[in-house]
Chain A
C-alpha cells in the first residue's frame, strides 16, 4: 500500500471486522440484514452498536437465516436503499440461490465475506472455498490483504457497483481470523470526505414504485431477451474492470491510499519469477519476495485483488516474458485444480503467452502458510519447471504422499 499524510479522519487499532463495520457506517448504508456466523459475527455486532449509539442511521433486520439476509437485502435495494450485509462459509453457501437473484436484478448490494473453510467437517479457519464457489454468479469478488484495505475496498466497491456501467453486487473478502480478528492500525476516513467520494445512491435503471408499476423478473421465453440479459451482465463485469481502475485512482487522489486496482504488483517489473496469489497470502508473499531478493533471486508478486471480474489483461501483461509463474490457491475446484491457476492458464493460452505456471493448492482449512512456506514453494516450483514436471495441481504442506 502506498500512503501519504491524511489530513482528516482518525487512526485506530482495530480488527478487520471492525474496519468493515466502519466502512458500512461511512458509506451511509440504509438497510443491514444481519445474521451471525463465525468469523463474521462481530461485523454485524459492531453495526448494531453504531446504530444503537446513534452513530449510524439504518434499518437493521435481524433475519432468521442467510438466505433471508440476502433476500431482504434484495428487497431493500429494489426500492432504492443502499444495502449491506456480511457472511462467511456456510452462510455464503446457503445464500447461493439468491446471490444469483441479486445479479439478475442488477442490484448493487454490498457484502463482506470473511473467508472460512466449508464443512463438512466443521472448520472455522481460513480458506477461500466459500467465495470461490460463487465464481459464476456474477458477483464482483474482491480479496484484500489488510484491515485498511478491507475498509477502503468496501467504500470503493459501492462506487463501482452503483456506477451506471456496472450495476452489479460486490463482495469484499477478508481472511477469517487472520484479518477479521487481528488488530492492525487503520485510518478511518472523515465522513465528509467519504460523502464527497460516495454520493447518495439514486437508482435510475428500475425500481419498485406504485406510481410507475412494473413487473420485475417474469418469465422470459427462449426467443426473448434472456440471453441478452446474461450478455449484459457479462459486459458490465468486463466494463467494471475500467471502473475499478478509475475508482481506485480517484480514491488514491482523495484519500492518499492505493492498494492496487484489479491487481497489486510488488517488485514484479524486473522479476523472472512472479508469485501470484490473493488474500493475506499476498502479504506473506511480499515478505517472501524481500527474503528471496536478499538472496539474489529475481522474484516479484502479482496480487490478484479482483477475482471477478478476472484481470486477464493485467495477468497476461505481467506474465509475458517471465520465466515462471508460481500460483498459490487457497481453494480448489475438485477434479481440476486451483481456481486462480485455472483462470491464469486459460488467460495465458488465450493470448499466446507460454510462461510456465506451477499451481499450488495449500492452506486449506486454515493450515498456516508463512512467508517461509512461500519461499519454499518458489524453490519447488523452480525444480518442477526445470524438470518440465508441470501438473494441474501441486499440493504443498500436505500430510500425505
Chain B
C-alpha cells in the first residue's frame, strides 16, 4: 500500500493568525477633507491593509489593521486620527 507522504507545506492565506483587527486598542480614521491622496499611509502600512477605495481615497481594511498608528504618525497632512477602539 503506498505510504502517505505528509509534508510541512503550507499554501498562502490571509488571516494566518486570525482577524488581527481584534488586536487593536486604537483605530485609524482617515479624514478625507485633509487627505491629499499622497499614499504615504499605504506605503508605510506594515500590514498592507490600506488600498484605494472606490472613491479614490485610501481605505483601511479594519478586519486586519493592527492599529499601530504608523499611518497616522507619518501622514504629512495629519489626516489620520487614532481613536480609541470601542467594542461591544
B12 interfacial by beta-carbon distance below 8 Å? yes
> What 0/1 pattern do residues 144 to 174 of A give for CB contact below 8 A with B?
0000000000000000000011110000000
Interface size on A, residues (CB 8 A): 25
For window 12-40 of B, CB contacts with A under 8 Å fall at 12
A-side interface mostly? loop
For window 219-262 of A, CB contacts with B under 8 Å fall at 220, 225-226, 228-229, 231-232, 235-236, 239
A2 interfacial by beta-carbon distance below 8 Å? no
Q: A236 contacts B5, CB within 8 Å? A: yes
Residues of B within 8 A of A236 (CB): 3, 5
Q: A104 contacts B8, CB within 8 Å? A: yes
Residues of B within 8 A of A213 (CB): 11-12
Q: B6 contacts A216, CB within 8 Å? A: no
Q: A214 contacts B11, CB within 8 Å? A: yes
> What 0/1 pattern do residues 328 to 360 of A give for CB contact below 8 A with B?
000000000000000000000000000000000
Residues of B within 8 A of A165 (CB): 2-3
Our pick among A164, A167, A216, A231 for the contact of B8 (Cβ within 8 Å) is A216
Q: A217 contacts B8, CB within 8 Å? A: yes
Report the nearest A residue to B2, measured CB to CB. Answer: A165
A386 interfacial by beta-carbon distance below 8 Å? no
The distance from the CB of A102 to the nearest CB of chain B, in whole angstroms, is 13
Interface size on B, residues (CB 8 A): 11
C-alpha spacing A228/B9, complex, angstroms: 13
Q: B3 contacts A206, CB within 8 Å? A: no
The distance from the CB of A217 to the nearest CB of chain B, in whole angstroms, is 5
C-alpha spacing A256/B8, complex, angstroms: 40
B88 interfacial by beta-carbon distance below 8 Å? no
The distance from the CB of A264 to the nearest CB of chain B, in whole angstroms, is 26
Q: A228 contacts B3, CB within 8 Å? A: no
Q: A206 contacts B7, CB within 8 Å? A: yes
C-alpha spacing A236/B2, complex, angstroms: 9
C-alpha spacing A314/B11, complex, angstroms: 42
A388 interfacial by beta-carbon distance below 8 Å? no
A106 interfacial by beta-carbon distance below 8 Å? yes
A215 interfacial by beta-carbon distance below 8 Å? yes
C-alpha spacing A165/B5, complex, angstroms: 8
C-alpha spacing A236/B11, complex, angstroms: 24
Residues of B within 8 A of A232 (CB): 3-7
Q: B9 contacts A214, CB within 8 Å? A: yes
A3 interfacial by beta-carbon distance below 8 Å? no
Q: B4 contacts A218, CB within 8 Å? A: no
Our pick among A164, A216, A231, A235 for the contact of B9 (Cβ within 8 Å) is A216
Q: A218 contacts B6, CB within 8 Å? A: no
A205 interfacial by beta-carbon distance below 8 Å? yes
Q: A220 contacts B6, CB within 8 Å? A: no
The distance from the CB of B54 to the nearest CB of chain A, in whole angstroms, is 29
The distance from the CB of A107 to the nearest CB of chain B, in whole angstroms, is 10
Q: B3 contacts A215, CB within 8 Å? A: no
C-alpha spacing A206/B9, complex, angstroms: 8
List chain A positions with a Cβ less than 8 A from chain B. Answer: 104-106, 164-167, 205-206, 213-218, 220, 225-226, 228-229, 231-232, 235-236, 239
A104-B8, A232-B5 are known contacts; what are 15 more A-B pairs with Cβ within 8 Å?
A106-B5, A106-B7, A164-B2, A165-B3, A205-B5, A213-B11, A215-B9, A215-B10, A215-B12, A216-B7, A216-B10, A220-B8, A225-B6, A232-B6, A236-B3
